[in-house]
Amino acid sequence: MQPSHSKTLTRKFSFKLQHGISFSTVNGWEKKFCDTFFFCTVYNVRNILLKFSGLLRYQLYDCSEDSISLEKEIEYIRNYISFQQIRKQEDLVVNVQIDAAGAPYKIAPLLLVVLLENAFKFVSSFTDRDNKIDIDLTVIDNHFTFRVSNTTEHRQALKAILNPGGIGIVNLKRRLELLYPDKYEIAFKQEVDFYEATLKLELA
């Protein structure tokens, strides 16, 4: 332990000589940094727990019905997006556009999150350009459109072409057939560095 302490004192002494700053000032900076780091860590953990508890509460209690108010489903996906942004902690641009204010419709719960999960799971990890997820939800009369797109890397695009639609997508299509027969459209678009999923519903 002693050698490490000596190295720390040597670095502080060298810094003081170069910049004419007292030990007490350097120590003060260290304390402020540690306090700020601790506060940010606690704040992030608190946010994660709050978002997660909201998601869990929705899945356990609100989703027991066959349909739920569109307003609640939108609140859920907003919380899900926020949770993923906090959790990932990386260079990711997420654009959200929701135009459904006051829409008095109901929707089957947990349909939309499947498409969101895929976007966050397979979004690119470029180091030389933006990694993006664009989310757009609109309701015009009873016509509902949910579009999610994300940047992808070449290897991810190749995998998606060879194996289109995982278990989540397969189950989503089955639910749509049961719940919205002849009242839905779902489409997927895959480019080399871009993936888009679009779901359209007729709501009641």
Q: What is the CATH number of the domain that holds 124?
A: 3.30.565.10
**Amino acid 177: pLDDT:** 96
Residues 123, 31 share a domain: no
Kindly state whether residues 136 and 84 are assigned to the same domain: yes
Q: What is the pLDDT of residue 21?
A: 46
* Residue 201: strand pairing partners: 144, 184
Q: Are residues 145 and 78 in the same domain?
A: yes
102 and 193 both lie in a single domain: yes
Instruction: Indicate whether 77 and 94 sit together in one domain.
Output: yes
pLDDT at residue 190, as a whole number: 84
Which of the listed residues 60, 81, 98 is the one where a domain comes to its end? 60
Return the higher-pLDDT residue of 40 and 181.
Answer: 181
**In Å, how far are 23, 39, 41, 143 from 36, measured between CA atoms?**
20, 5, 8, 48
pLDDT per residue over 6-51, tens digit each? Answer: 544 444 444 444 444 444 544 544 444 444 434 444 445 555 555 5
Select from 19, 34, 60 the last residue of a domain: 60
Residues 47 and 137 in one domain: no
Query: Do 149 and 101 share a domain, yes or no?
Result: yes
Mean pLDDT value across residues 82-105: 85
77 shares its domain with 28: no
Looking at the structure, tell me whether residues 136 and 45 fall in a common domain.
no
3-state secondary structure the chain: CHHHHHHHHHHHHHHHHHHCCCHHHHHHHHHHHHHHHHHHHHHHHHHHHHHHHHHHHHHHCHHHCCCEEHHHHHHHHHHHHHHHHHHHCCCCEEEEEEECCCCCCEECCCCCHHHHHHHHHHCCCCCCCCCEEEEEEEEECCEEEEEEEEECCHHHHHHHHHCCCCHHHHHHHHHHHHHCCCCEEEEEEECCCEEEEEEEEECC
Question: Amino acid identity, residue 140?
Answer: I
- The residue out of 60, 81, 103 marking a domain boundary is 60
Q: Does 94 share its domain with 47?
A: no
- Is 79 in the same domain as 43? no
Residue ranges making up the domain that contains 26: 1-60
- Residues 95 and 53 reside in one and the same domain: no
Count of domains for the chain: 2
pLDDT exceeding 70 applies to what percent of the chain? 61
HSE, CB side, 13 Å, CA atoms: give it for residue 152. 23
